[in-house]
Amino acid sequence: MTLIAVLDYGIGNLRSAQKALEHVGADARLTADPGLIRDAAGVVLPGVGAFGRCMQALRASGLDAMAHEVVDTGRPFLGICIGMQLLFEASEESPEEPGLGILPGSVRLLPEGVKRPQMQWNLLERRGDPALLAGAPDPAWAYFVHSYAADTDDAIVTSTCDYGGPVVASVARGNVWATQFHPEKSGRTGLAALAAFVAAAEEGRL
């Protein structure tokens, strides 16, 4: 089975992502061990809660440096929910806490006039032909729980959902994929996305 490292920085329900990856056939390990992370074919950064608290915990664990190392070596890397948001440069939720800066842009509060958080199933609108959603059903529904969303370069956006206007639901650049929705809670769509990531990790490409 393909070894996937799920970064364990001690915050949120990280085990749910691990279990979903196991469900699609990966040897998923929840770990903070640099050696195991370096041995993994792919690495996943999940996250729930507040941007600042998650970023602080990631830095305290030293896994911020590991995330950069994995991305720099070209191995497949997947950010999920807050894990996606941490990949950007900053967030309005915690302006004093810089993000990883792996992806361009920042994270902003969902627009006025909508309930925050968005806590519901929503329809994904694909942009182009995203590999992450290649095996997903059409229409593809996904489950969201968030009050903030990425404001980034349109060129890296692979899907959006409509919530008071278009909201970034997933992005991809090089060896980095990320989803604002929770794949582990998104039924067939989510499992297809995780299976696509595992298959890409096994092949050594994204």
Joined tokens for residue 116 = 């925050």
Beta bridge partners of 42: 4
Q: Which of these is catalytic: 54, 146, 161, 184?
A: 184
Q: Find out whether the peptide bond into 76 is cis, omega within 30 degrees of 0.
A: no
Residue 184 annotated to the active site:
yes
Local structure of 161: helix, strand or coil: strand
Are the CB atoms for 132 and 181 separated by under 8 Å?
no
| Integer CA distances (angstroms), 1 to 8, 36, 87, 180, in order | 20, 15, 27, 27
| 3-state percent breakdown (helix, strand, coil) of the chain, nearest 5 | 35, 30, 35
Residue 110, amino acid: L
Q: Which of these is catalytic: 22, 97, 182, 203?
A: 182
Residue 92 annotated to the active site:
no
Q: Which of these is catalytic: 22, 23, 81, 97?
A: 81
Residue 81 annotated to the active site:
yes
The rounded distance, in Å, linking the Cα atoms of 55 and 205 is 27
* Catalytic positions: 81, 182, 184
